Chain A
Amino acid sequence: MDDAANLTSFASVMLIFISAAFTDNILLTRFLGMCSVLGVSKKVDTSLGLGAAVIFVTTCTSGLNYLVYRYLLVPLELEYLRLIVFIVVIAAFVQFVEMVVERISEGLYNALGIFLPLITVNCAILGVSLFMLGTPYNLLQTLAYGAGAGTGWALAIAIIGGIREKINEQALPRGLAGPGITLIVIGIMSLAFVGFSGMIRI
């Protein structure tokens, strides 16, 4: 009975969201989206900015790619093209969002705009779209899965940013500063997240 996909819709959506964010944290259990983490996680506010952009984009692209897969690739028997098609869809979507954000709100553009191009090549986003294929979810559940995975990623990078703010990099051996210490921090954090594993099975 703990098969989340079969529960009543609201409960299943919530469960999928939480499990994607915590037990299956895409950054800490699958180590996806590392390049942006290493590059942008120096401060909490930039981390949160990038995190917010990722949440938005994973949610929307997982939905879009679900539809593309279900209604284009499967009927045409072109499932094997999913990788390249998903990438194209994500890139186009991010471009589009960048334009819209620039037009409607300059403040939002200044806060998120510089992160959006980074996201086009963020493997976590592509990862979410690909993992969704292995699940029996419907559209709503897929959206919840995308949002959850994005939220988990954002949460993780914000925590990493917080820890990095506290680390005095001057005091570290030279080879360890920057990416080195960040990887160690992520390693320790993912050990902590192992504690969540198996709590919900999806």
Chain B
Amino acid sequence: MLASIGLAIGFLAILTLLLAILLVFAERRILNYGPCTLDINDGKKSLTVTGGSSLLSSLAENDIFIPSACGGRGSCAYCKVQVLDGGGMVGPVEEPYLTPEDIKANVRLSCQVKVRRDITLAIPDELFLAKRFQGKLVHKRKLTYDMVELRIALNNPESIEFAAGQYIQLESQEYAGRDAVMRAYSISSIPSDNRHVEVIIRKVPEGICTTWVFDHLQEGQDVYLSGPFGDFKLSDSKAPAVFLAGGSGMAPIWSILRDMRERGDDREAIYFFSGRNQDDLFFTEELFALEKELPNFSYVPCLTREDPDSDWKGERGRIPAVLPKYIPDTTAYEAYLCGSSNLIDACVDAMKQRGLQEPNIFYDKFE
């Protein structure tokens, strides 16, 4: 009896061990791609990596951070890069995320491209500047009922170089059975304050990262972020600018406006901010104060659901309806929009009807 139990256990153990060893050995032999060379931007940078992992993680190991919000699962499509040679065929996971233009330009999801041979790729130059930072949360301040401001002191590296309007990716940590994720947040602090990063975060019900920020993240805690990313920034022209934002879309514009003040940029600028009622407004005094420091700037908060009997003296109504009163003809303007896609699409449509030119539209959609 005992002998037969022993035999059974021994047999199973040996069989599984044998198969496991066989598989490990096979993996080493079959899936060994050896060292591969990544040639980036026409020889500007050349890396030698061990083949077998994804392009995204191979680049990250070499401190080139491609934006990624889903952690390489192929569901966010942030990690697009141009793979000119050696990327292999487009896989079934990435296909739905690639537009016909992407396919023509050899754009791929870097998390789904496996490094199997030498690869030639092109990435925007600015991504070379992106780094991963370790910092400490120095304060978490409530701005409205559903909005907080985080101020993070950078430790390693100690300073960040960015243009007002760009964003970073904040890494949340695991909590209550929910995975660590990365989410994009626009920087609300100004570039000259380069030892700190500030962000403004709005609570998303059930959101993985925002719940972590609101309920778990505490002052003094270590935080990790990477960046800067994005091409949402003020152009070099002197064209009059119209800024439009709702909710946490305030963040990049708050940075851009204060950066303009610091650089003495006196271009004509008008800022429409959308909220439901007065509870949604923040930085209001500071923004009206900016009107005095920036000679050609004005701030127009617009409330859509404010109680008709309240003491509110500002604009009531949606931005597309209010805007023509201030700017009858938008032809000469540059537009900078930030916030939900609904808000952005509605405002872009309204302004295009009044002459706004397609190349002069810049936006960051938050959802």
Contacts and interface: CB of A to CB of B under 8 A. Distances in A.
Interface size class on chain A is 20 to 34
Interface in B83-109: 88-89, 91-93
A196 B92 CA distance: 37
Interface stretch (B25-33, B58-66, B214-222, B240-248): B25-33
B19 A92 contact: yes
B327 interface: no
B88 A78 contact: no
A100 B30 contact: yes
A107 B93 CA distance: 14
Contacts of B23: 92, 95-96
A110 B91 contact: yes
B8 A99 contact: no
A85 B88 CA distance: 37
A107 B26 contact: no
A89 interface: yes
Contact of A78 (B11, B19, B20, B116): B11
Contact of A99 (B12, B19, B26, B91): B26
A99 B92 contact: no
B204 interface: no
A169 interface: no
Contacts of B26: 96, 99
B16 A88 contact: yes
Interface string A74-98: 0011100100110011001001100
B7 interface: yes
B15 interface: yes
Contacts, number: 44
Given A76-B7, A99-B31, A103-B30, A114 B16 contact: no
Contact of A107 (B20, B89, B116): B89
Contact of B89 (A84, A92, A106): A106
A103 B19 contact: no
B76 interface: no
Interface string B137-178: 000000000000000000000000000000000000000000
B11 A89 contact: no
B22 interface: yes
A45 to B, nearest CB: 11
Contacts of A96: 22-23, 26
Given A78-B7, A88-B15, A88-B16, A99 B88 contact: no
Nearest to B4: A77
Contacts of A110: 89, 91-92
Contacts of A100: 30
Nearest to A80: B8
A85 B19 contact: no
A103 B11 contact: no
Contacts of A103: 30-31
Interface of B: 4, 7-8, 11-12, 15-16, 19-20, 22-23, 26-27, 30-31, 88-89, 91-93, 116
22 contacts: A76-B7, A76-B11, A78-B8, A78-B11, A81-B8, A81-B11, A81-B12, A84-B12, A88-B12, A88-B16, A92-B22, A95-B23, A96-B23, A96-B26, A99-B27, A99-B30, A102-B31, A103-B31, A106-B88, A107-B89, A110-B89, A110-B92
A-B pairs, top 7 by smallest CB distance, nearest first, are A92-B19, A99-B30, A106-B88, A103-B30, A106-B89, A110-B91, A95-B23
